[in-house]
Each structure stands twice: as C-alpha cells, then as structure tokens.
C-alpha cells in the first residue's frame, strides 16, 4: 500500500524486495519460468521493488507532497543494505523450524517404523 501511495518509499520498497527475496527460493525446484511455477515472478517483483527503493518516488507521490521527509538518500542505502541481512535471518529461522518439525514427526507418519497400536480395549 505504501508503494502504491508513494509514501515512505525506501522502507516500503525494501520490505517488498525482502519479502520477494525470501519467496523466490520457495519456487526454485520448479525451475525459472513462472509458467511452471518457477521463481521468475518473485524475482522480478524483488528487482522491481529494489528499483523503486533506489529510484525513489515520482512527483505524484505522497513523499513528494510531504517534502520527502520519509524519503532521504540515506534511507535508500539503509533499506537496500538491510535486505540481505533480513533475508538471511528469515532463511536461518525457517531452516531451523523445518529441522525441528522433521525431528518431531513420529516415524509412522514419515513412512518408517511400525504403525501405532491402539491401547483402548
């Protein structure tokens, strides 16, 4: 919504780019092209959001109307610099959660081990 309004463009663009940087690898097993469910579309969205972060809003934006108080050059650099760090944090937390989930799944649910027997008589 902030990107559409042109408000706080550096923060909004960096947030959108960071989200798509995390979303793109979820589709990597399907290849590149979006037609087969690949990562093309999230990658294009990430690059577009990063471009808006660096390029800033246009003259017909709320940032321009408010005198660019939430659109300073240092904010653009900080937003772009935060994307890799935030994405790395999300990837590490996701991998840890997946590892924990796979370690706690009972053997019968994963296809290994013996099925559970009912103890009710």
Domain ranges of the chain: 2-90
Cα distance between residue 53 and residue 18, in whole Å: 11
What angle (nearest 5°) sits at the alpha carbon of residue 98, between those of residues 19 and 39? 40
Say whether pTM exceeds 0.85. Answer: no
**What is the residue-level pLDDT of the chain in tens, covering all 121 positions?**
999 899 999 999 999 999 999 999 889 899 999 888 999 999 999 999 999 999 989 899 999 999 999 899 899 999 999 999 989 999 999 889 989 998 887 655 555 555 555 455 4
């Amino acid at each position: 919504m902030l990107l559409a309004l042109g408000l706080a463009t550096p923060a909004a663009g960096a947030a959108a780019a960071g989200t798509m940087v995390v979303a793109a690898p979820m589709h990597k097993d399907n290849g590149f092209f979006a037609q087969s469910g690949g990562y093309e579309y999230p990658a294009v969205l990430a690059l577009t959001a990063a471009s808006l972060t660096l390029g800033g809003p246009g003259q017909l934006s709320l940032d321009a109307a408010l005198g660019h108080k939430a659109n300073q050059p240092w904010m653009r650099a900080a937003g772009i610099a935060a994307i890799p760090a935030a994405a790395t944090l999300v990837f590490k937390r996701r991998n840890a959660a997946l590892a924990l989930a796979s370690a706690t799944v009972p053997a019968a649910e994963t296809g290994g081990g013996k099925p559970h027997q009912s103890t009710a008589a």
